[in-house]
A and B are shown apart, each in its own frame.
Chain A
Amino acid sequence: KQEVTQIPAALSVPEGENLVLNCSFTDSAIYNLQWFRQDPGKGLTSLLLIQSSQREQTSGRLNASLDKSSGRSTLYIAASQPGDSATYLCAVRRDTGFQKLVFGTGTRLLVSP
């Protein structure tokens, strides 16, 4: 059974810092991994998707890496801003056809001005 863990559970940083969020998964047989952002009481916003054959993906100040063999992914946020404050979730998908995502419990990020 796939289990996804995210560390730390919560993180508080001053504006401008670079930071790394960690995601680990127990079964390396994944199809892809997706990072999401969730604002309080809201749905999920897709940030980055990495296919199992890829090592990293970048979008603006965000960079996500994937090491499938070790069961790890990191989300790097450069020059953090107060608007980045949210919960960040990673999710892995096993199969090409079956779209079940297994989520971690998230990292709650607070960026102070």
Chain B
Amino acid sequence: DAGVTQSPTHLIKTRGQHVTLRCSPISGHKSVSWYQQVLGQGPQFIFQYYEKEERGRGNFPDRFSARQFPNYSSELNVNALLLGDSALYLCASSLTEWVIGSPLHFGNGTRLTVT
């Protein structure tokens, strides 16, 4: 079975531009979360979506938005890019919210560089 897949793998953008990152969860997984990992730090939570509804949002500005589609795939959008948005963006999926012991499975991420 395919794991969590993210596209693109690498992306270079200029300050002020907009970017869309995509994530396909493991088949059957209904919950998708997004994390930002700056070099040398642990991942920081951005969003969680479950059944197409936002379940939670981390401490990120409104320039960051996301959505989940009927097939449970997800997009993360970032507007008005800043140099500080350069990071590895990770997507994670899990079976449901409520299954005890349901771990998060992460994709390989999208490396975003803002110049």
Decide yes or no: A99 and B42 within 8 Å by CB, A32-B101, A36-B106, A45-B106 being known contacts: no
* Complex interface: stretch among A14-22, A75-83, A90-98: A90-98
Cross-chain contact B56 with A100 (CB below 8 angstroms):
yes
Cross-chain contact A106 with B104 (CB below 8 angstroms):
no
Cross-chain contact A98 with B42 (CB below 8 angstroms):
no
Cross-chain contact A99 with B48 (CB below 8 angstroms):
yes
Q: Which residues of the other chain, A, contact B33 by a CB distance below 8 angstroms?
A: 99-101
Decide yes or no: A96 and B98 within 8 Å by CB, A34-B103, A36-B106, A104-B42 being known contacts: yes
Q: Which residues of the other chain, B, contact A110 by a CB distance below 8 angstroms?
A: none
In chain B, what residue has the closest Cβ to A108?
Answer: B40
Cross-chain contact B106 with A43 (CB below 8 angstroms):
yes
Q: Is A25 an interface residue (CB 8 A)?
A: no
Q: Is A49 an interface residue (CB 8 A)?
A: yes
In chain A, what residue has the closest Cβ to B91?
Answer: A43
Cross-chain contact B42 with A91 (CB below 8 angstroms):
yes
Q: Which residues of the other chain, B, contact A102 by a CB distance below 8 angstroms?
A: 45
In chain A, what residue has the closest Cβ to B99?
Answer: A96
Q: Is A41 an interface residue (CB 8 A)?
A: yes
Q: Is A58 an interface residue (CB 8 A)?
A: no
Q: Is B31 an interface residue (CB 8 A)?
A: yes
Q: How far is the CB of B90 from chain A (nearest CB, A)?
A: 6
Cross-chain contact A100 with B104 (CB below 8 angstroms):
no
Decide yes or no: A98 and B55 within 8 Å by CB, A103-B42, A104-B42 being known contacts: yes
Cross-chain contact B104 with A46 (CB below 8 angstroms):
yes
Cross-chain contact A97 with B55 (CB below 8 angstroms):
yes
Q: How far is the CB of A6 from chain B (nearest CB, A)?
A: 8
Q: Is A64 an interface residue (CB 8 A)?
A: no
Q: Is A42 an interface residue (CB 8 A)?
A: yes
17 A–B pairs (Cβ distance < 8 Å), ordered by A? A41-B111, A44-B43, A44-B106, A46-B105, A46-B106, A51-B101, A96-B98, A98-B97, A99-B33, A99-B56, A101-B35, A101-B43, A101-B104, A103-B42, A105-B40, A105-B42, A106-B42
- Identify the 7 closest CB pairs spanning chains A and B, nearest first: A103-B42, A44-B106, A43-B108, A43-B106, A49-B103, A100-B45, A97-B97
